[in-house]
């Protein structure tokens, strides 16, 4: 797709109420977004489809909803407190702060050209690439600070202890310490009340593993599913809702007997790819990418990503593959770590075979915001069709699968008289009564009303006209083919329900 596709999608998303920048009237907040009236329906439909397919339709999966703030020791045991960080570097020339692992690589010792004060400002300077072997991504300079580890978890405090109060009280004591001692003492003070916003929902399933075994009579192989917000203080954010600091996850932890894990990994790896296809994402825009051995987290035995080809603006102008979901074999790492940290027995005892084991975990972890963005990008289409005067015009249409479309049907009275609005309202009420989300519109020419619904991705438009009064029929116009069919008023509800099932 060409470079400007993403621009058009962002513009449509704002114009039609899918995605807004957060706090926009205050100038916005970096990488924070809000879902408008159509966006919230789209995202809900995706999460509902996930829940129905992953929980309701499976006898071997149960749901869970954990609190976002958990005991801080959870993150110590999971490794997030010590290891969940990115190497952060400051450029001494332009003051840019960036991730070392994402910076442009150059051989140490080679000559580099950069701008005084960065970007386009000031005169050109020449320098040498430092021993770190990379340069500032903004100005190209090689005069960089040391790397320091920046933890991605958002820290806050819980309870009535205000760490600021304690720090203020300790100022004299702190002044006597050297820099290292000061950091340590401050760390101690803050740690007393520090809690973290969860960086993933998964740990909630691991720490509730025993509760669920004891309360639900589930036994391996079985899964625990959860959807909810997670938080990561990402240094680099980009591409609308693709990488943001606050995001919503749809995660399943599937517990299996060791030895059967490879089989279950293969099963979920394929099942998750098929899920996106079933909901209408085009096959050519989807792929499964297996991680190289060197990419794997130290606890993972295998991992694959479901990737979507996003029309992001980049140098190639063609778009790029981005991760929608990771499917990982996490082994027994997490349960073992929590068992060690708490002294609780997190093994499973199989009474029939008298076998005791700590289950292995297969984790399909999807992002609800990324999925929403992928469905939006994939649905976007422009079609050349003649307008009313017979001239070439472009029809912008979102070709959502009816199951995830924000609005399933629109109801239009052709004119605002002869009882047509009342008849339309009756049809609306019957649809809403059956849980079909629909929309009423009586303003403007019928052609324009159709176009507005095309841009919202509404699969069906029902028009009530003079014949409705005479023969008790309406026309149903289908979004993609634009074909119109006449059906009886009393058939409408069943007709639409069957199509959006
Ligand atoms: Zn720089």
Q: Give the model confidence (pLDDT) of 307-335 as tens digits.
A: 999 998 876 678 899 999 999 999 999 99
% of the chain with per-residue pLDDT over 70: 97
* Two tokens, residue 345: 């027995």
Q: Return the structure tokens found at 214.
A: 């004891």
Q: How far apart are CA 153 and CA 80, in angstroms?
A: 8
Nearest CA-CA partner of 348 in 155, 153, 213: 213
Which residues partner with 150 through β-bridges? 86
- pLDDT at position 224 over 90: yes
What pLDDT digit, counting tens, does each position of 114-154 carry?
A: 877 665 566 788 888 888 889 988 888 888 888 877 788 99
Residue 383 near residue 394 (C-beta atoms within 8 A): yes
Domain borders along the chain are 5-80+197-377, 83-194, 407-500
Residue 494: CB atoms within 10 Å = 11
Place of tokens 């199509």: 499
* Length of the chain, in residues: 501
Q: Which of 224, 264, 205, 203 is nearest to 55 (CA)?
A: 224
Q: pLDDT value at position 121?
A: 60
Burial class of 266 by CB neighbour count within 10 A (0 to 12, 13 to 18, 19+): middle
Helix (H, G, I), strand (E, B) or coil at 218: coil
* Arithmetic mean of pLDDT, 91-117: 82
3-state SS track over 311-374? CCCCCCCCCEEEEEEEEEEEECHHHHHHHHHHCCCCCEEECCCCEEECCEEEEEEEEHHHHHHH
Q: Give the pLDDT confidence score for residue 130 in this predicted structure.
A: 84
Higher-scoring residue by pLDDT: 239, 18: 18
When mean pLDDT is compared across 80-84, 263-267, 303-307, 445-449, the lowest value belongs to 80-84
Most confident of 81-90, 285-294, 335-344: 335-344
Which residue carries 């003051």 as its tokens? 95
pLDDT tens-place string over residues 273-293: 999 999 999 999 999 999 988
User: Percentages helix, strand, coil for the chain, rounded to the nearest 5?
Assistant: 35, 30, 35
CB of 293 within 8 A of CB of 264?
Answer: no
Residue 118 confidence (pLDDT): 60
More confident residue, 384 or 119: 384
Higher pLDDT, 189 or 363: 363
Q: Are 438 and 451 in contact (CB under 8 A)?
A: no
Q: What is the pLDDT of residue 393?
A: 85
Q: Is omega for the bond preceding 221 within 30 degrees of 0, making it cis? A: yes
Give the bridge partners for 322, in sequence order. Answer: 308
**For the structural domain made of 5-80+197-377, what CATH number should be given?**
3.30.930.10
Q: Which two tokens stand for residue 286?
A: 């989807």
Residue 92 alpha carbon to ligand 1 centre in Å: 7
Ligand 1 centroid – CA 182 distance (Å): 30
Question: Ligand 1 centroid vs 32 CA: distance in angstroms?
Answer: 25
Looking at 28-42, 52-66, 231-245, 397-411, which range is the least confident one? 231-245
DSSP helix/strand/coil, 341: helix
Q: Is 383 helix (H, G, I), strand (E, B) or coil?
A: strand
What Rg, from alpha-carbon coordinates, does the chain have?
28
CA distance 326 to 363: 8
Q: How far is the CA of 101 from the centre of ligand 1 (A)?
A: 15
Give the residue carrying structure tokens 């950069």: 114
Burial of 229 (0-12, 13-18, 19+ CB in 10 A): middle
The encoded tokens of residue 467 equal: 């014949």
- The whole-angstrom separation of Cα 489 and Cα 298 is 61
Distance 150 CA to ligand 1 centre (A): 19
The rounded Å distance from CA 117 to ligand 1 centre is 8
Cβ-contact 51, 225 below 8 angstroms: yes
Mean pLDDT of 215-229: 96
The Å distance, Cα 24 to ligand 1 centre, comes to 29
Tokens at residue 302, please? Answer: 């295998």
Please tell me the distance between residue 105's alpha carbon and the centre of ligand 1 in angstroms. Answer: 14
- Please, which pLDDT band fits residue 34 given cuts at 50, 70 and 90? very high
CA of 207 to the centre of ligand 1 (A): 43
Close Cβ partners of 482 (under 8 Å, ≥ 6 residues apart) = 385, 450
Residue 336's pLDDT is what?
Answer: 97
Angle between helices 420-433 and 492-500 (to 10 degrees): 50
Rounded Cα–Cα distance for residues 339 and 347 (Å) = 9
Q: Collect residues with CB below 5 Å from ion ligand 1.
A: 91, 93-94, 96, 118, 136, 138-139, 141
Candidate from 19-28, 97-106, 217-226 with smallest mean pLDDT: 97-106
Tell me how far the alpha carbon of residue 87 lies from the centroid of ligand 1, in angstroms: 16
Query: pLDDT (tens digit, 9 = 90+) per residue, 111-125?
Result: 888 877 665 566 788
Per the model's pLDDT, the better-predicted residue between 251 and 112 turns out to be: 251
CB 312 within 8 A of CB 5: no
What pLDDT is stored for residue 56 in this prediction?
A: 98
Tokens of 391: 């001239």
Architecture of domain 407-500: 3-Layer(aba) Sandwich (3.40)
For ligand 1, the distance from its centroid to the CA atom of residue 3, given in whole angstroms, is 27
Residue 314 Cα to ligand 1 midpoint, Å, equals 21
| Residue 1 pLDDT | 44
Quick one: average pLDDT of 465-491? 95
Distance between Cα 98 and ligand 1 center (Å): 9
Residue 34, CA distances (Å) to 68, 286, 486 in order? 19, 26, 39
CA 499 to ligand 1 center in whole angstroms: 55
Phi/psi of residue 492, nearest 5 degrees: -55, -50
Q: Which stretch of DSSP H or E encloses residue 263?
A: helix 261-278
Amino acid 196: pLDDT: 95
């Amino acid at each position: 797709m060409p470079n400007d596709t993403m621009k058009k999608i962002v513009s449509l998303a704002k114009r039609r109420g899918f995605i807004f920048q957060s706090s926009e009237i205050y100038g916005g907040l970096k990488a924070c977004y809000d879902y408008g009236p159509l966006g919230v329906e789209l995202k809900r439909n995706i999460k509902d489809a996930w829940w129905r397919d992953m929980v309701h339709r499976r006898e071997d999966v149960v749901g869970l909803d954990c609190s976002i703030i958990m005991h801080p020791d959870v993150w110590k045991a999971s490794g997030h407190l010590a290891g969940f960080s990115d190497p952060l570097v400051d450029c001494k020339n332009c003051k840019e702060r960036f991730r070392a692992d994402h910076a442009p690589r150059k051989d140490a010792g080679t000559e580099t050209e950069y701008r005084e004060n960065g970007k386009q400002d000031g005169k050109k300077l020449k320098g040498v690439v430092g021993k770190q072997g990379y340069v500032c991504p903004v100005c190209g300079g090689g005069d960089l600070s040391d790397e320091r580890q920046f933890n991605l978890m958002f820290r806050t405090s819980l309870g009535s202890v205000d760490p600021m109060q304690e720090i203020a009280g300790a100022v004299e004591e702190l002044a006597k310490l050297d820099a290292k001692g000061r950091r340590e003492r401050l760390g101690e003070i803050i740690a007393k009340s520090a809690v973290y916003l969860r960086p993933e929902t998964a740990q909630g399933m691991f720490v509730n593993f025993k509760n669920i075994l004891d309360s639900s009579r589930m036994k391996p192989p079985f899964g625990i599913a959860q959807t909810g917000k997670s938080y990561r203080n990402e240094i680099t954010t980009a591409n609308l809702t693709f990488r943001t600091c606050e995001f919503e996850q749809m995660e399943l932890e599937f517990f299996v007997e060791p030895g059967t894990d490879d089989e279950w990994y293969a099963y979920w790896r394929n099942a998750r790819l098929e899920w996106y296809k079933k909901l209408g994402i085009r096959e050519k825009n989807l792929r499964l990418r297996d991680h190289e051995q060197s990419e794997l987290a130290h606890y993972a035995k295998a991992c694959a990503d479901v990737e979507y080809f996003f029309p992001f603006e980049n140098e190639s102008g063609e778009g790029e593959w981005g991760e929608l979901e990771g499917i990982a074999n996490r082994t027994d790492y997490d349960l073992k770590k929590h068992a060690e940290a708490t002294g609780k027995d997190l093994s499973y005892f199989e009474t029939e075979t008298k076998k005791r084991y700590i289950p292995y975990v297969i984790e399909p972890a999807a992002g609800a915001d990324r999925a929403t963005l992928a469905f939006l990008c994939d649905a976007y289409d422009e079609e050349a069709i003649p307008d009313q005067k017979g001239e070439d015009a472009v029809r912008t249409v979102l070709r959502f699968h009816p199951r995830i479309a924000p609005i399933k049907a629109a109801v239009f009275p052709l004119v605002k008289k002869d009882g047509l609005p009342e008849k339309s309202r009756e049809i609306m009420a019957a649809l809403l009564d059956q849980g079909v989300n629909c929309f009423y519109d009586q303003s403007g020419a019928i052609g324009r009303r159709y176009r507005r619904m095309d841009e919202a991705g509404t699969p069906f438009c029902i028009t009530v006209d003079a014949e409705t009064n005479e023969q008790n029929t309406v026309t149903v116009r289908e979004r993609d083919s634009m074909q119109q069919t006449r059906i009886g008023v009393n058939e409408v509800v069943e007709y639409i329900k069957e199509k959006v099932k």
